[in-house]
Structure 1
């Protein structure tokens, strides 16, 4: 598997409150993107804590996960992280109200399980066809789902950034989780809204059609988001599946 993680502060923000990474163990690759929020420095605390906690739990695994077990692990881990973030904010007043989005993908040759909470997104790209695998946990997307506004109207809605769910809240996080079976060359793209708000699925597809390495594709995507304003932090993690009988670079 080929994999890459990149994060850019963008052109406007003084801090990068995004976090994430690519983490491997003996059987799979875990990709993470978290977009923090909640006052001065609290956002980057929330996103970094989330990634650090999940990475630690990932490396503690001592047995291979099958598809159903991977979904269970994601659900349990995200709930544990949600509780730890909330308790940390309760004990540290400067972090009161902090939270973070999260999109996570466990990637193997047999299955890919994607979990999300908030509006960071997970896309699957097969033969340049881009499919959004996650649903934004946002006020505006709820209006789209209910038929009150169109997807086009949602792009410019004044409450576009209002989230209905995030990590770091009291109670259950209740992430959404999906599992798919990859083909050779399937590409998983996880990103914060600093990318998805600026770069269209058509532009992502066009870059996927080019003979680019993941590193080159990631650089182009970040450059596009900055060219279109770069008002937010821009973060992505990408993994390309190469089945064993097809060859490919191993991670």
Structure 2
């Protein structure tokens, strides 16, 4: 498989509180992550950096993940460990009070991918069957949509659009959604912060992803579009392209 990570400060924000990356374990399997930090006094970047650095360390010291059950257990256990670390750090450092981060993470093997998310950073799948959002936002507005109180169109302009119901590190215990999916050769996985998904419509995401461009060019184009449409937020994404090959190969 091939993968690319890219982040951009955007056009308005003074700091980039997003973080992420693509990390490889001892078996050559990849863990892709996007985290969107939040909190006063720049503490959002502390939370997202702690999430990424700790998961990177855990993953790089992990042996082969052979089954979906093992992947789901690994991602649940280690995200919970990171949640505790961020929460305790905030408790012990007054300037970090209330900090937290969204997270969307995908363990990518050569047979399946296991995806976990907390907050409103998203994972999409693009393939010959179409383009589909894999994750559900843990936000007030999404709950209003799910319950039929407002439409998807209303949600795009709702004044409380950014209010999250779950975040990593804000409470001692956190709930996450975890699911495992299979893929075909050539399928694409897109992980992104809301700095991309709030600005670029799904039709345009698809239009870029299906082009015969290198992954780096697709990632650059998506960030370019988010900035073109205002760039009010940090913009972060990972694109993974799947191939039927050995774990350590491209």
Q: TM-score, normalised by structure 2?
A: 0.96
For 1:179, the equivalent position in structure 2 comes to 180
Match runs of 1:213-224 below 5 Å: 213-224=214-225
Map 1:1-251 onto structure 2 (within 5 A): 1-25=1-25, 26-127=27-128, 129-244=130-245, 250-251=249-250
SS at match of 2:178: strand
5+ unaligned residues in a row in structure 2: which ranges?
none
Shift of 1:66: 1.3
The offset of 1:127, in angstroms, is: 2.5
Q: Deviations over 1:106-147 (max 9, x none)?
A: 111200111000000000111372110000000000001111
Contact 1:111/1:181 (<8 A) preserved = yes
Shift, 1:60, TM fit: 1.6
* Whole-Å separation in 2 of the counterparts to 1:207 and 1:97: 37
SS in 2 for 1:144: helix
* CA–CA distance in structure 2, aligned partners of residues 242 and 163 of structure 1: 35
**Native 8 Å contact 1:128 1:209 kept in 2:** no
1:238 is displaced (CA, Å) by: 1.1
Q: Secondary structure at the match of 1:244?
A: coil
CA distance in 1, matches of 2:64, 2:125: 26
Give the SS at the match of 2:106: strand
CA RMSD of aligned residues (A): 1.3
Measure, in 2, the Cα distance between the counterparts of 1:15 and 1:135. Answer: 27
Deviation at 1:28, TM superposition (A): 1.3
1:169 is displaced (CA, Å) by: 2.2
1:227 and 1:250 map into 2 onto residues whose CA distance is: 36
- 2:65, 2:71 within 8 Å by CA — same for their partners in 1? no
Contact 2:124–2:133 (Cα < 8 Å) also in 1: yes
- Whether the 8 Å contact between 2:19 and 2:35 is mirrored in structure 1 is yes
- Structure 1 length normalisation: TM-score? 0.96
In the TM superposition, structure 1's runs of 4+ consecutive aligned residues that sit over 4 Å from their partners are none
> Is this contact kept in 2: 1:128–1:208, CA < 8 A?
no
> Where do 5+ consecutive residues of structure 1 fail to align?
none
Per-residue CA deviations over 1:4-40 (Å, capped at 9, x if unaligned) read 0000000000000000001112241110000000012
Following the alignment from structure 2 to structure 1, what is the Cα–Cα distance between the partners of residues 105 and 34?
A: 7
Q: Distance in 2 between matches of 1:78 and 1:65?
A: 19
Give the whole-Å Cα distance in 2 for the aligned partners of 1:221 and 1:85: 30
Aligned residues: 248
